[in-house]
Amino acid sequence: MKNLIKSIVVLFFLGIIACDPNETIAPIPPSDGDLIEPNVGGPDQPNQVFIDLSKNTSTTVSRDNWDFGFANDGNFRVIINYSAYMVARPTDQTDLAMVTSNLVTPEYKAVTVVAPEGSIDWIDNPNGNITETAIASVSSTDSENLVYVINRGQLESGAELTERGFIKIKVTRSGDDYVITYGEIDATTFNSVTVPKNAGYNFTFLSLDNGIVNIEPEKSLWDIGFTTTSNYFFDHTNNVTVPYRFKDIVLTNKGNVKVSSVAVTDVVNYAEYTLTDAAALDMQDDRLGIGSTWRNFEFATYSYVVNPEIFYIIEDTDGNTYKLAFTRMNCISVECAGDRGYPEFTYELLK
């Protein structure tokens, strides 16, 4: 019995030592790298995928799960769902009831296919500059905030497009919060949602169908994102720059991640590139630092392929430096061979 009591006492004190709150817990080391296949969902690319390199984790969300993102920094700016090709056209009205479907012109309906001059101002700048959003900075004076007609964009299913429809919105401020008021295009009664700021995220995302939703992870928990987006295209026929739908975009976490591209040469290659080599680079806070440069259009096969002449250096949100190279963008399985929307990349921690 005495031995049993001694054993219990010893185990008790060992438990106290093991639970010492002052004990230093060793940090989890960053991932050394891996081969990653982001699940963008195949040719229609219905998903957005956000990747944390140092933790080797992926967050996948459906790109029709949100409508607006509300900036959580010192700005009062609202982004529209670039991945669903949304468009925001300003009116000259401040009263939602004064805006009707007469503003939904044929040109506006087709804005991401054939659009009038000036329509590039109806999408957010794809470079992520928060001062270049389609919706103007939200004023603390309600009467200065205009009503916008919103084309909620399109989703693809093969050759078919599903239109998400038109609404009208007005965004105002209540202290440090946003207030968005919205309704159908001819509505005279409206819904309102208050959206608070959350400093842990770049944006607070709102779905008009489901309320506040999780899209991007916390700003310290992702480095690069795979998505579709609205981009610019110069229409040589009509001599005008217009928006258009763009796939295979890779974004970097603007404001939190830096990137630089490296051209492959006879003496520079991915396998032998070192941390010492990377130290000489001019790293940039550039949302489109990867963008679409990772792939080329091959006219011989009339298809997109990985660009073999470039790889990238990433300074992630944790301060680690990685080299990253794309290894595939098309399906290699028999049932979907050659289809785009099956990206793959490899990355490695530089030490």
Tens-binned pLDDT, residue by residue, of the chain (351 aa): 444 444 444 444 444 334 455 666 777 899 999 999 999 999 999 999 999 999 999 999 999 999 999 999 999 999 999 999 999 999 999 999 999 988 777 666 655 444 566 678 899 999 999 999 999 999 999 999 999 999 998 877 776 778 888 999 999 999 999 999 999 999 999 999 999 999 999 999 999 999 999 999 999 999 999 999 998 877 778 777 878 889 999 999 999 999 999 999 999 999 999 999 999 999 999 999 999 999 999 988 888 999 999 999 999 999 999 999 999 999 999 889 889 999 999 999 999
Whether 21 is in a domain gets the answer no
Whether 271 is in a domain gets the answer yes
Residues 58, 72: one domain? no
**87-90 vs 148-151, strand pairing mode:** antiparallel
C-alpha to C-alpha distance for 46 and 65, rounded to whole angstroms: 10
Residues 157, 72: one domain? yes
Whether 158 is in a domain gets the answer yes
Domain, as residue range, for 80: 68-207
**Which one, of 82, 205, 213, 96, lies nearest residue 151 by Cα?**
82
Q: Which residues contact 130 (CB under 8 A, 6 or more apart)?
A: 71, 73, 75, 77, 79
C-alpha to C-alpha distance for 111 and 244, rounded to whole angstroms: 8
**Which one, of 102, 207, 99, lies nearest residue 148 by Cα?**
99
Whether 44 is in a domain gets the answer yes
User: Nearest 5°: phi and psi at 148?
Assistant: -120, 140
Q: End of a domain among 184, 207, 230?
A: 207
3-class state of residue 102 by DSSP: helix
Residues 72, 187: one domain? yes
